[in-house]
Chain A
Amino acid sequence: MEAVSQQIPLEHFLVLSAILFSIGVYGVLTRRNAVLILMSVELMLNAASINMVAFAAYTSPEAFTGIIFAIFIITIAAAEVGLGLAIILRIFRNRGTANVDEVDTLKW
């Protein structure tokens, strides 16, 4: 294992991850199209992934759990996007809209 860089402190990556996660949270809460909400969820997953890989590279390179975690995050995100989009397509076929405000038959 070789040392690569000594110039970027760890906190820079963590702050970037926090900013991306907060932007993703704003997107999930604000957007009304279901596919756009999925995109914001992808942003949050990527932010968590940056966190994992940063910790693996900086603090525990011998047991690189962070990189393994990032690989699994990418895998599960791919599965989730596929299934989520299938559900959205089905909802669009049944209701004619992908707007989450108009899919409210379960509301009281």
Chain B
Amino acid sequence: MTVAQLIFYLIAALAVGGALGVVLVRNTVYAALFLILALLAVAGVYILLASEFLALVQILIYAGAITVLLLFALMLTRAGDLPETMVGAQWPFAGVASLTLMGLLIATVATSDWPGDADGTITRIPFEQVGEALFRQWAVPFEIASVVLLIALIGAIVLARDDDPEAEESE
């Protein structure tokens, strides 16, 4: 087994372990920390796929901003204090469903003829080209994504603000 494969198995084990921690642990904050581990491992997978800039973006936005946001929400909804059922009563069926899905997907992957099979070469894509393409061919989805972010920002502010001072202010 080469070094690259060894590193891949290590990072894959971290990712799967983090994911299992997210869905299985009883403590909600521990689940959020396991999510950080899983997202960092996915960033490692991006580095293995020779897209280092995407790995940095993943670390900054996913493991950085989104998990902090999730931890804030856990804190504001008293997830640690309130007693609640952590696991629903349907967990055997959920386990069967997810195992079936995983079996189906892995069977599809194993029996299909992927075009990259012959040499298994990863090609590094220079990120200057990706940046140029984002502003040329993909300019319309880029602008739409910025509009989506604006709408999400406005929507989050409108949804999460306090109502009581508004009742006094509105005339």
Contact = CB atoms under 8 A, between A and B. Distances in A.
> A and B: partners?
yes
Contacts, number: 278
Contacts of A12: 5, 8, 12
Contacts of B122: 3-6, 8, 57-58
Interface in B46-66: 46, 48-51, 54, 57-58, 61-62, 65-66
Contacts of B5: 7-8, 12
Contacts of A10: 114, 116-117, 120
Interface in B63-91: 65-66, 69-70, 72-74, 76-79, 82, 84-88, 90-91
Contacts of A16: 12, 15-16, 45
Contacts of B120: 5-10, 58
Contacts of A20: 15-16, 19, 38, 42
Contacts of B97: 25-26, 29
A4 B124 contact: yes
A86 B152 CA distance: 10
B109 A2 contact: no
Contacts of B66: 42, 77-78, 81
A13 B86 contact: no
Interface residues of B, number: 89
Given A58-B120, A59-B116, A77-B66, A35 B74 contact: yes
B133 interface: yes
Nearest to B65: A78
Q: Lowest 10 A-B CB distances belong to which pairs?
A: A58-B116, A27-B23, A22-B102, A18-B105, A79-B152, A29-B94, A61-B123, A26-B98, A86-B159, A86-B156
Interface of A: 1-16, 18-27, 29-36, 38-40, 42-43, 46, 49-50, 53-59, 61, 64, 67-68, 70-72, 74-83, 85-90, 92, 97-99, 101
